[in-house]
């Protein structure tokens, strides 16, 4: 009895001590989880990077297009055989912004790869920009391209306008729909297609309202030792109808701003939304003295073309855009399919 009583007493004492210690134990609270928060100050699609006050937007698209050329496309030589071509592109955009004492600090990064059937796929940084208080620094499509938009409101064959990319530094003053810009750039190519150490200097202005927008710019290219000017207008005053036109000219046909090697180029086009998911498009563009191929896919000597097309968005995030273009004695038929996100 004494042994049994001793064992039971010892067990009871251990339980009592253990219970007392358990009551005194400190249990650590789990670390709080910071969920992704929506950032609505810069528009849809932005969210706060966890642990910061920086807002980030990630978007992009995948594009595939097919082209069928009759008689070599825009080519007066009827002996040229018909041809087919596939091309595809992928683009990923990153846009980061946060507020500072000097205004919005913004950085943009774009990764893009474009290739054709039978070629090796490649991807590269296609845009890298920093902007603050009206100043911009970095690499992107040139100001003289972006201030006027990208050609006519059609798809593949959108006009004989010059397209360029460059490393640039500029300043823009903007207020009440008006903006004015002055800057300098080092283009990745000169008019002969090779890298140079020369700079380009540009100025421009634009104004936009509920009726549309107008823009004008002038650029002086050191390598060409001449300048070029461009004006454009987009009219959206009529419901569902957008009309756009541009005119660009240089002093002696030596700049990159006119495709080909002529003194001027121009174009006019329109887009009409029949429904919320279907639109029709048309455009015409001409260039002076196209001694070289003015648009990728068009043979040398093409000086004008007419294009008709459509855009159908069967579901959100998917766009199908067929197009037919006619120039000289040749024709081209293309369809582009976009998956945007």
pTM, entire model:
0.82
DSSP assigned state of 7: H
Give the alpha-carbon dihedral of 218, 209, 59, 336, to 10 degrees. -80
**3 state DSSP class of 16:** helix
Structural domains in the chain, sorted by start: 58-340 (2.40.160.10)
pLDDT at residue number 193 = 46
DSSP assigned state of 8: H
Residue 335 in tokens: 């369809």
Give me the sign of the Cα torsion angle 50, 51, 53, 56: negative
76 Cα distance to chain centroid? 34
pLDDT at residue number 206 = 98
Hey, which residues does 86 pair with through a beta bridge? 66
pLDDT at residue number 93 = 98
Hey, which residues does 234 pair with through a beta bridge? 213, 244
pLDDT at residue number 198 = 85
DSSP 107-152: EEEEEEEEEETTSPP--EEEEEEEEETTEEEEEEE-HHHHTT-SSS
How many whole angstroms separate alpha carbon 221 and alpha carbon 162?
13
Q: What is the largest CA-CA distance in the chain?
A: 120
How many whole angstroms separate alpha carbon 73 and alpha carbon 5?
107
Q: What's the CA angle centered on 206, arms 307 and 283, to 5 degrees?
A: 5
CA-nearest of 160, 164, 144 to 269 is 160
Buried (b) or exposed (e) across 266-302, using 16+ Cβ within 10 A? bbbbbbbeeeeeebebbbbbbbbebeeebbebbbebb
Hey, which residues does 281 pair with through a beta bridge? 271, 309
Could you read off the pLDDT tens digit of each residue along the chain, which spans 341 residues? 454 554 445 555 544 555 555 445 565 666 666 678 999 999 999 999 999 999 999 999 999 999 998 865 654 455 556 778 899 999 999 999 999 999 999 999 999 999 887 777 788 999 999 999 999 999 999 999 999 999 999 999 899 888 889 999 999 999 999 999 999 999 876 444 445 568 999 999 999 999 999 999 999 999 889 999 999 999 998 899 999 999 999 877 778 888 766 789 999 999 999 999 999 999 999 988 765 554 555 555 668 899 999 999 999 999 999 999 998 767 889 999 999 99
How many whole angstroms separate alpha carbon 1 and alpha carbon 325?
109
pLDDT at residue number 76 = 45
pLDDT at residue number 6 = 46
Residues 6+ apart with CB under 8 A from 339: 61, 62, 63, 317, 318
**3 state DSSP class of 14:** helix
CA-nearest of 240, 296, 248, 232 to 270 is 240
């Amino acid at each position: 009895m004494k042994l049994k009583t001793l064992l039971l007493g010892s067990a009871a004492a251990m339980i009592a001590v253990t219970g007392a210690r358990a009551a005194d134990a400190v249990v650590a609270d789990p670390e709080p989880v910071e969920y992704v928060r929506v950032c609505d100050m810069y528009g849809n699609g932005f969210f706060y990077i966890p642990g910061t006050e920086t807002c980030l937007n990630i978007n992009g698209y995948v594009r595939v297009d097919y082209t069928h050329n009759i008689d070599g496309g825009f080519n007066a030589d009827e002996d040229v055989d018909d041809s087919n071509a596939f091309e595809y592109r992928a683009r990923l955009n990153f846009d980061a912004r946060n507020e500072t004492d000097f205004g919005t600090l913004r950085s943009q990064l774009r990764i893009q790869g474009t290739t054709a059937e039978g070629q090796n796929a490649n991807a590269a940084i296609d845009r890298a920009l920093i902007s603050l208080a009206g100043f911009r620094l970095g690499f992107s499509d040139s100001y003289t391209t972006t201030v006027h938009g990208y050609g006519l409101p059609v798809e593949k064959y959108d006009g004989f306008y010059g397209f360029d990319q460059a490393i640039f530094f500029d300043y823009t003053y903007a207020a009440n729909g008006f903006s004015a810009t002055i800057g300098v750039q080092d283009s990745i190519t000169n008019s002969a297609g090779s890298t140079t150490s020369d700079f380009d200097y540009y100025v421009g202005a634009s104004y936009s309202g509920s009726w549309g927008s107008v823009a004008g710019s002038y650029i002086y290219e050191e390598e060409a030792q001449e300048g070029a000017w461009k004006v454009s207008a987009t009219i959206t005053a009529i419901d569902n109808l957008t009309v756009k036109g541009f005119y660009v000219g240089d002093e002696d046909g030596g700049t990159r701003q006119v495709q080909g090697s002529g003194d001027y180029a121009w174009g006019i086009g329109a887009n009409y939304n029949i429904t919320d998911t279907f639109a029709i498009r048309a455009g015409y563009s001409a260039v002076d003295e196209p001694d070289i191929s003015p648009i990728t896919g068009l043979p040398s000597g093409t000086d004008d073309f007419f294009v008709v097309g459509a855009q159908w968005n069967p579901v959100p995030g998917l766009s199908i855009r067929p197009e037919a273009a006619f120039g000289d004695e040749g024709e081209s038929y293309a369809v582009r399919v976009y998956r945007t996100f």
